[in-house]
Amino acid sequence: MSSELHEKLFVYGCLKPGELGFDHIKEMVDASYEAATIQDSLLKVRDGFPFIELGKPNHAHNQTSGYLLSVLPHRNEEFWKVVDAFEGNTYKRMTCDAKGKTSGSVKVQVFVGKNPRSGTSYELEGKEWSYKTSPFIQGRFRYTRDLIKGDIEVLKKQLPDLPPENLDSSSYWIPIIRLEGSFLVLVSTLEYLLTMKYGNLNSDLNELSVNSKMDMLGNKDPIVQEIISQSDLDSYIAPNDVRISKQERAVIITRAAYLKKLYQTRNNLSHRGKGYKGDIKFTLDAAQRMVEFLERYFSMSGVGASREI
C-alpha cells in the first residue's frame, strides 16, 4: 500500500474539480490538476453515481475523461484515508495507466465500481459525468419541484374549508398523498446531495449518517449558511411529534438543526402517517422550505448554468 500512496489519483466523478465532493479534498492536493484520460475503460452510472470498468478495449466508447490530482506531501497519508472513506464499499481503488494532457502516460490510482453487473446502470456513451447534468436533479428534482409547488397551493386553499367529516373524501386525500410523495422525493434529493458532497463512510470506515452529513453541510458549506441565514426561522412550523415537547420542537439552535428539522418531517411521514388535517400544515411548511432550499442550493452551486432549474 505504501507504494500506492505517492501515485496520483484519477478522478472522474464527485471528486473532480468543480464537483460537490472536491471541496472535501481540495486543500490536500496541488492546485495545478491536469486533464487526463483512461483508455479501454467504460463510464457508467448506477444509482445516480458514476463508476468505470477497466479492460474494455473493443467498446465503442472506451475512454473515460477526468483529472489527475497530485497530493501535497504533508497531506499524503490523510488524503488516501479520506478518499477511501468517501468512495465507501461500492468502489475499489486500483492502479492503472492514464494519459495526462501534458505529462503523457502515467501510473495512477483510480476508483472502479465493485460488482459492475449488479444493480441497474447505464452507459454515458462518451460523455463526462457531472452533478450539474444528473437526471436526478435535471429531471426528477425539477419535475417534482413543479408538481409539489402546485399541490402546496391547492392544499393551502382547500384545507381551511375542509370540515373533519370530509376526511375520507378523495378531494382531501389525493392532494395530500401527492404532497407527501413529492416531499419524500425532495428528501431523497437532499440525501443525494449529501452523498455527492461528503461520500459514504467516516474516517473509521463506518457508515456516515445523514445527520452527520447535515451537520457538516449546515455548519461548513458557505452556500447553505447564506441560504439559511436568509430564511425565516421565526415562522418555522415544526413537526408535531409526541416524542418531542412543543418547546423543543420550536428551537433551532444551529443552521444544521434547521435542515434536521425539515428532515424530521420525512420520519413523520414514513413511520407515523401524519396525513390528518391537524398535521398536514407541518408537511406543507416543510415541503415549501425544502423545495426552496434545494432550488437555491443547486442554482447557487452552478446547476442553473447548464440548464434552467
Which 3-state string (H, E, C) describes 97-138?
Answer: EEEECCCEEEEEEEEEECCCCCCCEEECCCCCCCHHHCHHHH
pLDDT score for 15: 97
* Tens-digit pLDDT profile for residues 63-108: 899 999 999 999 999 999 999 999 998 899 999 999 999 989 999 9
Tell me: do 46 and 103 sit in the same domain.
yes
Asked if 111 and 91 count as a contact pair (C-beta separation under 8 A), the reply is yes
In whole angstroms, what separates CA 36 from the centre of its chain?
26
Alpha-carbon distance of 25 to 48, in angstroms, equals 21
Domain assignment of residue 84, given as a range = 4-129
Tell me: do 114 and 207 sit in the same domain.
no
> Is the per-residue pLDDT at 152 higher than 50?
yes
pLDDT above 90 coverage of the chain, percent: 44
pLDDT band at 52 (very low <50, low <70, confident <90, very high): very high
Domain boundary residue among 93, 113, 129? Answer: 129
> Is the per-residue pLDDT at 242 higher than 50?
no
Domain boundary residue among 78, 105, 129? Answer: 129
Torsion of CA 146, 149, 153, 158, to 10 degrees: 90
Work out the average pLDDT over 145-174: 76
Torsion of CA 288, 223, 217, 239, to 10 degrees: -20
* Count of domains observed in the chain: 2
Tell me: do 272 and 141 sit in the same domain.
yes
pLDDT band at 251 (very low <50, low <70, confident <90, very high): low
